[in-house]
Amino acid sequence: MAEIRCFIAVEVNDSDVVRQIIRIQQDLLSSGAKLKLVEPQNLHFTLHFLGNIDEQRIPELADILEKVEGTVFDIELVGLGCFRPQRPRVIWIGCTTGADQLIQHQQAIGRELRAHRFPSEKRKYSPHLTVVRVRSGVNRVQLIEIVNQHTNKEFGRFQVKTIKLKKSTLTPKGPIYENLAIKTLDATNAP
């Protein structure tokens, strides 16, 4: 029985927004902290991390994703932050517009996952876009200073047209993601 490490996500797909994120990643690197930047092609909002799933169940996950109902929506990225500032492990960007839709999709997919006996998130969902992983406590104070300078920074807005089931292959250079299933959202009444 082969297993596939996978998750369900919304990707950041706007080149202008991605450029803004790359700029802030470079600012964070200037702190001298030991950081692992999320690659531009890997930027996403995780809705559900599924972990290792039996490969034979992937079509079932694709069916669950196909049941997602919703229309195209906008996400506006605002504010840099981190969990546990005294020992940050992840630096993220928050969202204002679109947060409610992300939560609704996360909850609806979670109900379907539980009904089909798939693992679902135990923690309360908090929409965030991971941009940096902190590898050690080196220069933590300088890093947090940069984060605090950008708590209200606007990174732009992009339109969400799809939700994806993604395969994650871990490598020494970082994860490689591959689409396993794509749910296209209804564009009829899109903003």
Tell me the domain boundaries of the chain: 3-183
Catalytic residue among 48, 105, 116, 128: 128
128 is catalytic: yes
| Residue-level pLDDT at 83 | 86
| Residue-level pLDDT at 190 | 59
DSSP of 111-170: HHHHHTT-----SPP---EEEEEE-SSTTHHHHHHHHHHTTT-EEEEEEE-EEEEEEEE-
| Residue-level pLDDT at 84 | 86
Taking domain 3-183, whether its CATH number is 3.30.1330.60 is answered by: no
Mean pLDDT by 10 residues, the chain (191 residues): 93 96 97 96 96 96 94 97 90 97 96 90 90 94 95 97 97 92 86 60
| Residue-level pLDDT at 85 | 83
| Residue-level pLDDT at 187 | 81
Bridge partner residues of 33 (DSSP)? none
Looking at the chain, the whole-number percentage of residues with pLDDT higher than 90 is 87
| Residue-level pLDDT at 88 | 92
Question: Among candidates 129, 116, 92, which has minimal Cα distance to 13?
Answer: 129
Average pLDDT score, the chain: 94
Residue-wise pLDDT tens digits, 10-27: 999 999 999 999 999 999
Q: How far is CA 187 from the centre of its chain?
A: 22
Residue-wise pLDDT tens digits, 119-134: 777 788 999 999 999 9
| Residue-level pLDDT at 189 | 65
Bridge partner residues of 133 (DSSP)? 36, 90
150 is catalytic: no
Tokens 């964070």 appear where? 28
Q: Return the exposure string of 79-104: e unless at least 16 CB atoms fall within 10 Å of the residue's CB, then b.
A: bbbbeeeeebeebbbbbeebbebbee
Catalytic residue among 44, 48, 105, 150: 44
